[in-house]
């Protein structure tokens, strides 16, 4: 525990602090850049981009070794990965436009082919006699132990660039994400915005290869935005929460890895993101499971209460145990089933409400009455005070007549 706290407070050593900072910045950048692809329902594209980097990684290694350079030069490996990922994106686009395949099928085909090709090339690389290929497989699952200051600076710069781009282009990206046709009508270049969003994801993916690996980088692109979507419908808040959740995942996961060196950083970062997702899934006030259960429970109580009051108003017996329980809890009936004073007042109110609903079409006209009545909304909430006054006046006139 002490080692974990030390890592969280950046007092576990220079290298541990560097890894924690780098992971935090990368998590925020990845989550923010993946937000619009998730909103556009193109989350699978991030998987294709990540897996398409593997052939480029292996080919870049071979080319640098053949040219007499260090095969593990990070810049060269990242450039090769970026080119390969770009080819994968273009391949998906060409397949979708030139064939009858849907986008998900095209992505699946490119993903599997590129990744399989990359594994074959990586196997060949491992059998080479030169190039210092040991540890190259770390790009699959990530390897942060050897992170340098230059790596952290690269991640910081990429995070800043992603942040600026998202701030400047948040409105057109939002329009494209939710309604491409409307965005085009407003003069937004939909194709360009799609390319910008994809380019950000591609850049972040390539930069994050060393940190979490090509297999796990997808999780940081998708999980935080999905978790953020549980909490709000406001796109600005979704972006903020995505970055917050992604950064928190990197921060906690890297700190856990620093306190237990035998555990891989990338996996712990992803597990931290998953923990945030589970909390959001369960406890979100808008779309969380708990909130949904509470709303369902409240709806059931309302239904049982109204049905019970209608039965009492009609003088009918009540057999449903849940209805009896609700009426007793609300003080409508006593344990022996006899109505209380509050119960009689509630029954009078429900009779008045049913009368208002039955008279509304004849008094106000069919057009003024909701087409679908949910049988739970009181008339005084569905109609204006002036309309209620007209209905009550007509009811009183008919009663006098």
pLDDT in tens, 77-128: 788 888 888 888 888 888 888 888 887 788 888 888 888 888 888 888 777 7
pLDDT exceeds 50 at position 389: yes
- 8-49 confidence digits (pLDDT tens): 787 777 778 888 888 888 889 888 888 888 888 877 777 778
364 or 281, greater pLDDT: 281
User: Measured between alpha carbons, how far is 141 from 369 in angstroms, rounded to an integer?
Assistant: 61
Long-range own/partner contacts, residues 356-365 (CB < 8 A, 24 or more apart): 356/380, 356/383, 356/388, 356/391, 356/392, 356/395, 359/391, 359/394, 359/395, 360/387, 360/391, 362/394, 363/390, 363/391, 363/394, 364/390, 364/391
User: Measured between alpha carbons, how far is 305 from 321 in angstroms, rounded to an integer?
Assistant: 12
Residues of the chain with CATH 1.10.3470.10: 2-283
Six token digits for residue 173: 């990206």
N-terminal to C-terminal alpha carbon distance within the chain: 82
Total Cβ atoms within 10 A of residue 103: 16
pLDDT exceeds 50 at position 401: no
Which residues on adjacent β-strands are paired with residue 175? Answer: none
Q: What confidence score (pLDDT) does residue 146 get?
A: 62
- Report whether 51 contacts 214 (CB < 8 A): yes
Q: What confidence score (pLDDT) does residue 293 get?
A: 92
Query: Mapping DSSP to helix (H, G, I), strand (E, B) and coil, where does residue 339 land?
Result: strand
In this prediction, what percent of the chain has a pLDDT beyond 70?
91
pLDDT exceeds 90 at position 228: yes
The class (CATH top level) of 2-283 is mainly alpha
- Burial class of residue 399 (count of CB atoms within 10 Å of its CB; 0-12, 13-18, 19+): exposed
Residue 370: C-alpha distances to residues 306, 377, 393 (Å) = 19, 11, 21
22 or 215, greater pLDDT: 22
Lowest mean pLDDT among 108-117, 236-245, 257-266: 257-266
Q: What confidence score (pLDDT) does residue 118 get?
A: 85
Q: What confidence score (pLDDT) does residue 155 get?
A: 78
Query: Mapping DSSP to helix (H, G, I), strand (E, B) and coil, where does residue 238 land?
Result: helix
User: Measured between alpha carbons, how far is 14 from 173 in angstroms, rounded to an integer?
Assistant: 39
pLDDT exceeds 60 at position 131: no
pLDDT exceeds 80 at position 366: no
Query: Mapping DSSP to helix (H, G, I), strand (E, B) and coil, where does residue 11 land?
Result: coil
Q: What confidence score (pLDDT) does residue 198 get?
A: 81
pLDDT exceeds 70 at position 348: yes
Which element (helix H / strand E) includes 317? Answer: none
Average pLDDT, the chain: 83
Q: Which pLDDT band holds residue 323 (cuts at 50, 70, 90)?
A: very high
Mean pLDDT for the stretch of residues 277-287? 91
Nearest to 379 by CA among 344, 345, 352: 352
Query: Mapping DSSP to helix (H, G, I), strand (E, B) and coil, where does residue 333 land?
Result: strand
Nearest to 87 by CA among 64, 116, 60, 114: 114
Q: Which pLDDT band holds residue 241 (cuts at 50, 70, 90)?
A: very high
Which element (helix H / strand E) includes 136? Answer: none
Long-range own/partner contacts, residues 257-263 (CB < 8 A, 24 or more apart): 257/19, 257/144, 258/3, 258/4, 258/7, 258/12, 258/16, 258/19, 258/20, 259/3, 259/4, 259/6, 259/7, 259/12, 260/3, 261/145
- Report whether 302 contacts 329 (CB < 8 A): no
- 159-179 confidence digits (pLDDT tens): 888 888 888 888 888 888 888
Sequence-distant (6+) residues with CB within 8 A of 52 are 84, 85, 87, 88, 89, 110, 111, 114, 115
- Report whether 32 contacts 163 (CB < 8 A): yes
């Amino acid at each position: 525990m002490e080692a974990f706290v030390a890592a969280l407070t950046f007092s576990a050593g220079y290298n541990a602090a560097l890894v924690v900072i780098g992971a935090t910045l990368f998590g925020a950048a990845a989550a923010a850049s993946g937000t619009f692809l998730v909103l556009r329902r193109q989350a699978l594209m991030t998987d294709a981009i990540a897996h398409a980097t593997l052939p480029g990684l292996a080919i870049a290694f071979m080319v640098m070794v053949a040219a007499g350079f260090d095969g593990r030069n990070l810049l060269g490996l990242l450039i090769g990965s970026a080119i390969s990922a770009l080819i994968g994106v273009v391949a998906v686009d060409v397949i979708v436009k030139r064939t009858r395949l849907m986008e998900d099928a095209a992505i699946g085909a490119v993903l599997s082919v590129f990744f399989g090709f990359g594994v074959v090339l990586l196997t060949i690389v491992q059998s080479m006699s030169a190039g210092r290929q040991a540890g190259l497989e770390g790009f699959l699952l990530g390897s942060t132990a050897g992170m340098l200051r230059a790596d952290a600076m690269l991640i910081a710069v990429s995070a800043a660039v992603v942040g600026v781009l998202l701030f400047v282009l948040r409105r057109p990206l939002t329009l494209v994400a939710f309604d491409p046709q409307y965005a085009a009508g407003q003069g937004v270049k939909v194709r360009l915005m799609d390319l910008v969003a994809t380019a950000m994801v591609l850049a972040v993916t390539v930069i994050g290869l060393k940190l979490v690996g090509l297999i796990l980088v997808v999780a940081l692109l998708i999980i935080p935005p999905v978790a953020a979507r549980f909490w709000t419908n406001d796109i600005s808040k979704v972006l903020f929460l995505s970055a917050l959740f992604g950064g928190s995942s990197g921060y906690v996961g890297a700190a856990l890895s620093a306190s237990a060196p035998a555990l891989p950083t990338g996996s712990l970062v992803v597990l931290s993101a998953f923990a945030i997702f589970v909390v959001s899934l369960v406890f979100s006030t808008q779309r969380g499971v708990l909130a949904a259960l509470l709303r369902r429970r409240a709806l059931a109580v309302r239904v049982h209460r109204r049905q019970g009051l209608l039965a009492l108003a009609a003088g009918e017996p009540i057999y449903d145990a849940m209805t009896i329980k609700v009426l007793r809890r609300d003080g409508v009936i006593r344990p022996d089933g006899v109505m209380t004073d509050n119960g009689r007042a509630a029954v009078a109110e429900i009779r008045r409400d049913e009368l208002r609903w039955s008279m509304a079409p004849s008094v106000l006209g069919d057009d003024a009455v909701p087409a679908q009545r949910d049988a739970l909304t009181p008339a005084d909430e569905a109609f204006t005070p002036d309309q209620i006054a007209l209905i009550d006046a007509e009811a009183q006139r008919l009663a006098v007549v």
